[in-house]
Structure 1
Amino acid sequence: MARIISIGDADLWTEVSGQGDPVLQIHGSGFGHYNFAPLSPLLAEKFQVIDYDQRGYGDSSRPDDYPYSIERWAADAAALLDAMGIERAHVHGTSMGGMVAQAFAGLYPERTQSVVINCSASKLGRNGRLVFQNWIDIVQLDPAGPGSRILAELISWQALSNGYMESEAGRDAVDQVQTILRDSNTLAPFVAACRAMQEMDLRDLVRAISSPALVLGGDQDLMTPWDQGPQGAGQQWIADNLPGAEVHVIKGGGHSTPFDSTEEHASVVADFFSRHAMEQAR
């Protein structure tokens, strides 16, 4: 059931499904909680799945003048768990949500049972920063803002695998992406999120992560490739700098593995969380 939960200076749309260890799912830029729509029912078969719209997205508070940052979104996640009376959770972040998940696990190790970092980066290289500069330019030039058809076409190409786009499921992908972008975003928070990703450097926080970690992504990820170049720190850097981290590469998967590789993504994540269950940690 969906409800609005207050964390003091913001109201966050939240939906809880299933029973078991709590799994906090942190969505990426642009999509709001829809990022996990295909996965949540599968994970809810074994876990208490917590989906929410981060500050600036969907049906949560969307202030234009808030100083958005990856670390502040991580603080919001901790405040949400406080409001729900949850001391500790598994954390599952995708894309920008994977960046927030890194920050959360590094800043709040005592609250992180385990963490999945999906299709993400710790620091964007020059090409990585250009991806989001392109998004900013489009939404500022197009009167439709984040609901831009041009943006939806670009993100569909950047995020979804070739196999998915050529399948029957991908037939209406651009229309669906455009609808989600239009309904989940307003201009100022969208631009602020892009700039937050361009400016972030989470490498020290990654080194502070002490919980079990899984680095998960597709080998066709165009948006946040495993190698961010010498100026950045991509998924491969994260895996190399998290001692004991597990790594799973989805063959044929794009940036949005929750959509284009749903079954494999869900299976790998459920297995990882089950092997690091709270009962086993006691």
Structure 2
Amino acid sequence: MTLTLKKAVAPDGAELAWAEEGRGEPLLLVAGQATGMAGWDPVVPALARSFRVIRFDHRGIGASAEGSAENYTTRAFAADATAVLDAAGVRRAHVYGHSMGGRAAQWMAVDFPTRVASLVLAATSASDARGPARSAAATAALTSGDPARMAPLFFSPAFVEHNPAVVGAFFRVQASAAVKSRHFRASRLHDAWDALPQIQAPTLIIHGSEDALAPVANAVAMAELIPDAQLIQVDGGRHGLHLDDARVQTWIEDFLSLVAT
């Protein structure tokens, strides 16, 4: 898939690469930790049939500039994402965040409530410090940089076997070791626990029962904290359930169609 890249300017002046496809109400996709916009490739075509899908590379990832080191926090990433909406001329968008992208999306809904029409939080959590923690083994696999060790945390063996190109693209990240470390630290230090009750946007939380990177109890906690949030627990789902399980795409599309004006 060839994308025409455009540039947004983050609050610290860093240039962020973004792209868009489709027509309809704007839908912003916010990728996970140290993951580029190409990781969304499998789900965009269906979403673009009903929405103007906007996605971007986080600072320091892919075609986006590194910017200031102090702005590697999930709250600063939320400001980056809002700058992408500004560049796209979008006043208000549906926001769909995966993993660390879901953490940044939480801050978008808190800090920029008028910009968020609805919120989809996939395989994410409110705080490592206060939510159920992942195991040391899962953390070691995640930080190894070895796709063979990371893949079982994200995808079922059958998905890995039948979709090698998708899995390869998801883990193929253009970023320095320093940037990857900053992303990991930003995600680890995220704590929006006390702020989540402020979220006003209609919210769907979708989470796999076998997510080793963000245990499912995190999703239950978020559903209790965010007013009127809807929670779907996906039996057997892992951290990459948004790509791995076709039902997840259907549930998200159904939710978005209901909240679209």
Q: TM (normalized to structure 2)? A: 0.89
Unaligned runs of 5+ in 2: none
**8 A Cα contact 1:136 1:194, kept in partner:** no
Aligned to 1:152: 147
Aligned to 1:276: 259
Paired residue type of 1:205: A
Equivalent-residue separation in structure 1 for 2:142 and 2:260 (angstroms): 40
Aligned to 2:159: 164
Does residue 237 in structure 1 map to residue 237 in structure 2?
A: no
C-alpha spacing 1:126/1:195, structure 2 compared with 1 (3 Å) = farther
Q: Kindly state the Cα deviation for residue 67 of structure 1 after the two structures are TM-superposed.
A: 3.3
Unaligned runs of 5+ in 1: 139-147, 228-233
Aligned to 2:215: 225
Q: Kindly state the Cα deviation for residue 106 of structure 1 after the two structures are TM-superposed.
A: 1.2
SS of the equivalent of 1:197 reads: helix
Aligned to 2:26: 22
Aligned to 1:90: 94
**8 A Cα contact 2:122 2:242, kept in partner:** no
Aligned residues: 255
**8 A Cα contact 1:163 1:252, kept in partner:** no
Aligned to 2:8: 6
Aligned to 2:182: 192
Aligned to 1:144: none
Equivalent-residue separation in structure 2 for 1:95 and 1:208 (angstroms): 20
C-alpha spacing 1:111/1:189, structure 2 compared with 1 (3 Å) = same
1:102 to 103, 106, 110: 106
Q: Kindly state the Cα deviation for residue 35 of structure 1 after the two structures are TM-superposed.
A: 2.5
Equivalent-residue separation in structure 1 for 2:132 and 2:201 (angstroms): 30
SS of the equivalent of 2:134 reads: helix
C-alpha spacing 1:133/1:192, structure 2 compared with 1 (3 Å) = farther
Paired residue type of 1:206: L
Paired residue type of 1:249: Q
Identity %: 28
SS of the equivalent of 2:117 reads: strand
Question: RMSD of the TM alignment (CA)?
Answer: 2.3
Once the two structures are superposed, residues 15-65 of structure 1 have per-residue CA deviations (whole angstroms, 9 ceiling, x without a partner) of 111110100000001321123111111100111000111112111112473
Q: TM (normalized to structure 1)? A: 0.83
Equivalent-residue separation in structure 2 for 1:177 and 1:87 (angstroms): 30
**8 A Cα contact 1:153 1:174, kept in partner:** no
Q: Kindly state the Cα deviation for residue 4 of structure 1 after the two structures are TM-superposed.
A: 2.6
1:264 to 213, 237, 247: 247
Paired residue type of 1:248: I
Does residue 113 in structure 1 map to residue 117 in structure 2?
A: yes
Q: Kindly state the Cα deviation for residue 216 of structure 1 after the two structures are TM-superposed.
A: 0.7
SS of the equivalent of 1:222 reads: coil
C-alpha spacing 1:131/1:15, structure 2 compared with 1 (3 Å) = farther
